[in-house]
Amino acid sequence: MKKVKAAIIGAGFIGKAHIEAVRRLGYVDIVAIGQSGQEKAEKYARELGVPKAYGNYIDLLRDEEIEVVHNCTPNHLHYEINKQTLLHGKHLLSEKPLTLTSEEAKELYLLAKQTALITGINFNYRQFPMVQHFKSMVKDHDLGHINLVRGSYLQDWLLYETDYNWRMEPEYGGPTRAISDIGSHLFDLVQYVTQLKIVEVLADTAIVIPKRYRPTQGTDPSQITNFDGLELVDVKTEDYCSVLVKFNNGARGVFTVSQVSAGKKNALELHLDGSRASGSWKQEEPFKLLKGYRDRPGETVLRDPNQVKREALPFLHYPSGHEEGWTDSLKNMMQHYYQAILKNETLFDSVATFRDGYEIMVINDAIIRSVRSGTWEKIELLP
């Protein structure tokens, strides 16, 4: 069987996770790595057992052997690298958020639409079996009419004033931080599971730590890990945001994201309150989904082929009790993305499209407007 040839641009934290997940498929070869600088590219390629190394992504895109590109670079490079990848005729799996602005996202969405290339965004929480089960429960009206939607994504890795990362800097991370970094996952998950659209937002943000110690060395945003020299700088993006939300079916919602909540690691949670029952899923305990009723005891549905809905079956691979988690969601992501390339078919709906990524950026914009205006801001649904 001929293997698909892929390349990773930006082999940092998530780039390495892409490589591992892709290799688990068995029918895709990672043939090249792109990094900023030849020396670094060669070092990463050597360490990761990848044959080719490119210090400049344009040279990588000119390599005719490469069919698929994974863009795993920091946010500020998503637009340009994604655009050039499409213009060079390669399939593209981009990291989130799709771009820094909704204007850029719209341009990429329209550009991708004009091609036959397979494009996707790594909103990988869609790929958990119990998320698929949750989505099917909503579709089958097990919860009744969805009245209320509550969600949060809380972390603590930026709790101290000595915590620093390229995500802090608007030129690398974008005008928002907690909202675009983890809120983008939450909003995508909410809209995907409920199949509802967020149409209005009222948001409040806070820079909880207004000054942080930034390392003085390293211009590559990924190199802001060297604490030899430190300077105290103003923080320009939010550590925290809460948003009240209205959905297109009249449901109301409330969402909180934070990167300064001690003890919370990747506490992504989604709770739906319907007219018949409620449902709750937590990413840190991904193998179960809780259902609640007013007049009978609640239920716990386990990640077990005998308990989940048919639609969730392709997302679980091991017997229940042998848990599958975040890295398995990435494997599912790659499986569903690459199946579309192999079979020349449309994408599974579990893979977020550039349209979905554009929608998330439009929500991001409305949140920024609401924080500035102090009032509800409407979101225009995409045609």
Ligand X SMILES: NC(=O)c1ccc[n+]([C@@H]2O[C@H](COP(=O)([O-])OP(=O)(O)OC[C@H]3O[C@@H](n4cnc5c(N)ncnc54)[C@H](O)[C@@H]3O)[C@@H](O)[C@H]2O)c1
Tell me: does residue 124 bind ligand X (CB under 6 A): yes
What distance, in Å, lies between the first and last C-alpha atoms of the chain? 41
Nearest distance, CB of residue 40 and ligand X, angstroms: 6
Tell me: does residue 379 bind ligand X (CB under 6 A): no
Could you say which of 21, 66, 77, 202 contacts ligand X (CB under 6 A)? 77
Report the alpha-carbon distance of residue 31 to residue 342 in Å, rounded.
Answer: 17
How far out from the chain centre does Cα 298 lie? 31
DSSP 325: -
Q: Which residue is closest to ligand X by CB?
A: 12
Cross-strand bridge partners of residue 244 = 202, 254
**Sign of CA pseudo-dihedral 72, 74, 79, 84:** negative
Question: What mask, x for binding ligand X by CB under 6 A, covers residues 34 to 53?
Answer: xxx-----------------
The residue count for the chain: 383
Nearest distance, CB of residue 177 and ligand X, angstroms: 10
Tell me: does residue 57 bind ligand X (CB under 6 A): yes
Q: By C-beta, is 73 or 335 nearer to ligand X?
A: 73
Report the alpha-carbon distance of residue 53 to residue 43 in Å, rounded.
Answer: 8
Q: By C-beta, is 12 or 175 nearer to ligand X?
A: 12
Scored b (16 or more CB within 10 A) or e, 222-260 reads bebeeeeeeeeeebebbbbbebebbbeeebebebbbbbb
Question: What mask, x for binding ligand X by CB under 6 A, covers residues 182 to 221?
Answer: --------------------------------------x-
Q: Which two tokens stand for residue 65?
A: 């052997």
Tell me: does residue 72 bind ligand X (CB under 6 A): yes
CB 261 within 8 A of CB 239: no
Nearest distance, CB of residue 1 and ligand X, angstroms: 28
Q: Which of residues 260-279 bind ligand X (CB under 6 A)?
A: none
Report the alpha-carbon distance of residue 307 to residue 129 in Å, rounded.
Answer: 11
Element (H, E) at 168: none
Residue 72, CB half-sphere, CA atoms under 13 Å: how many? 20
Q: Which of residues 222-251 bind ligand X (CB under 6 A)?
A: 222
Tell me: does residue 11 bind ligand X (CB under 6 A): yes
Tell me: does residue 364 bind ligand X (CB under 6 A): no
Could you say which of 96, 106, 133, 212 contacts ligand X (CB under 6 A)? 96
Q: By C-beta, is 13 or 231 nearer to ligand X?
A: 13
Could you say which of 45, 68, 74, 155 contacts ligand X (CB under 6 A)? 74
Residues that bind ligand X (CB under 6 A): 9-15, 34-36, 57, 72-75, 77, 95-96, 122, 124, 181, 220, 222
